[in-house]
């Protein structure tokens, strides 16, 4: 398998799941310039990472890739077989992907939406306020739990990646103790540590 990624971007979640499933994978780092060039666009016309290539099978979109890896390696236990537990994992995966990640797009890519500096700052401020509310939902869900879905799953690496973005963009969630403990739990994990080291993110 090959994983095309930008260090610290959402493919980090896939990278961690690859470590958790014990699957060897060639990591191919790409730049923001390279993902807009024809060679990469042939893999993903959207010009975005992650891209997972498994033989002649090319898959994009983080949530699809995470589910594919979990289903291809059921012994990992990262996607439960019981319907309600499985749906709960998918709920939190969708929360990370469709709610939190989408809102971060307003912080990272203001130029796509508004032109003036004042409007951009207002957009960032409003998006950060939305993110605080979203992370509060996750913090409350983690009360009394080690993992967001109640058991370790493919949703956890995605949530962890988003928490790293929150720190980088100074989203004010420092008082959310359940999220703080969750992040530390993830960073104590050997698979997470290995993924961070391979992406040059250890200590960051």
- pLDDT beyond 80 at 203: no
In this structure, the answer to whether residues 107 and 171 fall within a common structural domain is yes
Q: Does residue 203 belong to any structural domain of this protein?
A: no
Look at the chain and report how many structural domains it folds into.
Answer: 2
pLDDT (average), residues 57-84: 97
pLDDT (average), residues 156-169: 98
Predicted local confidence at residue 111, as pLDDT? 78
pLDDT (average), residues 167-189: 97
In this structure, the answer to whether residues 98 and 142 fall within a common structural domain is yes
In CATH, what number is assigned to the domain containing residue 106? 1.20.1050.10
- pLDDT beyond 80 at 134: yes
Q: Does residue 39 belong to any structural domain of this protein?
A: yes
Predicted local confidence at residue 117, as pLDDT? 86
- pLDDT beyond 90 at 44: yes
Confidence label for 202 from pLDDT (cuts 50, 70 and 90)? confident
Confidence label for 115 from pLDDT (cuts 50, 70 and 90)? confident
Q: Does residue 204 belong to any structural domain of this protein?
A: no
- pLDDT beyond 90 at 116: no
Rounded to an integer, what distance in angstroms lies between the CA atom of residue 163 and that of residue 142? 14
Q: What percent of the chain has pLDDT over 70?
A: 100
Show the domain range for 61.
Answer: 2-76+194-198
In this structure, the answer to whether residues 68 and 108 fall within a common structural domain is no
- pLDDT beyond 80 at 73: yes
Predicted local confidence at residue 46, as pLDDT? 97
Predicted local confidence at residue 170, as pLDDT? 96
In this structure, the answer to whether residues 91 and 72 fall within a common structural domain is no
- pLDDT beyond 90 at 152: yes
Predicted local confidence at residue 196, as pLDDT? 97
In this structure, the answer to whether residues 90 and 182 fall within a common structural domain is yes
- pLDDT beyond 90 at 125: yes
In CATH, what number is assigned to the domain containing residue 66? 3.40.30.10
């Amino acid at each position: 398998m090959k994983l095309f990624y930008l260090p610290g971007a959402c493919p980090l979640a896939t990278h961690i799941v690859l470590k958790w499933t014990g699957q060897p994978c060639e990591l191919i780092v790409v730049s923001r310039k390279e993902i807009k060039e024809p060679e990469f666009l042939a893999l993903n016309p959207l010009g975005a990472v992650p891209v997972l290539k498994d033989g002649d099978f090319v898959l994009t979109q983080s949530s699809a890739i995470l589910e594919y890896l979990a289903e291809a390696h059921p012994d990992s236990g990262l996607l439960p077989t019981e319907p309600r537990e499985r749906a709960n994992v998918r709920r939190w995966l969708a929360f990370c992907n469709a709610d939190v990640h989408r809102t971060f797009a307003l912080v990272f890519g203001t130029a796509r939406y508004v032109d003036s500096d004042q409007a951009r700052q207002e957009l960032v401020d409003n998006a950060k306020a939305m993110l605080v509310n979203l992370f509060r939902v996750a913090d409350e869900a983690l009360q009394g739990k080690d993992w967001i879905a109640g058991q370790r799953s493919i949703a956890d690496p995605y949530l962890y990646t988003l928490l790293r973005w929150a720190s980088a963009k100074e989203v004010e969630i420092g008082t959310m103790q359940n999220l703080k403990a969750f992040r530390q739990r993830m960073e104590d994990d050997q698979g997470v540590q290995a993924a961070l080291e391979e992406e040059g993110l250890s200590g960051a």
